[in-house]
Amino acid sequence: MDAREKLLETHKDIFEKVRIIGFTDWIPNDTVTFRKNLPHELEQKVVDALHDFAQGSEGQQTLKSLYDVDGLDYATDADYDVVRAALKAMDMDPESMLD
């Protein structure tokens, strides 16, 4: 879904005022993030439970209705290389964005 569609009801002219100028490769979003010192075993149990939930029809319906999420999948750090490349192309330093 084009993000502008979500704003169409309140911003009727959004398609005229906001235009897509380019695309990156797909970027994983809606991450499941844990605090730094959470035991890895517990992290894995939560991730696996969420992934399993997202595979069933009830889980798919719940994720769609609550978060407009089409599904969950496992990701690795390398899946975010496209973000790093896009930031580099825009001469932006991700470290400076965290301050």
Amino acid at the residue 2? D
**Domain total in the chain:** 1
Q: What is the pLDDT of residues 50-90, one digit of tens each?
A: 999 999 999 999 999 998 888 898 888 899 899 889 899 99
Q: What is the pLDDT of residues 19-51, one digit of tens each?
A: 998 888 888 888 888 999 999 999 999 999 999
User: Do 80 and 26 contact (CB within 8 A), yes or no?
Assistant: no
Q: Quick check: is 76 in a domain?
A: yes
Q: Quick check: is 70 in a domain?
A: yes
Q: Quick check: is 94 in a domain?
A: yes
Give the domain extent around 43.
28-98
Task: Work out the number of other CB atoms within 10 angstroms of the CB of residue 41.
Answer: 7
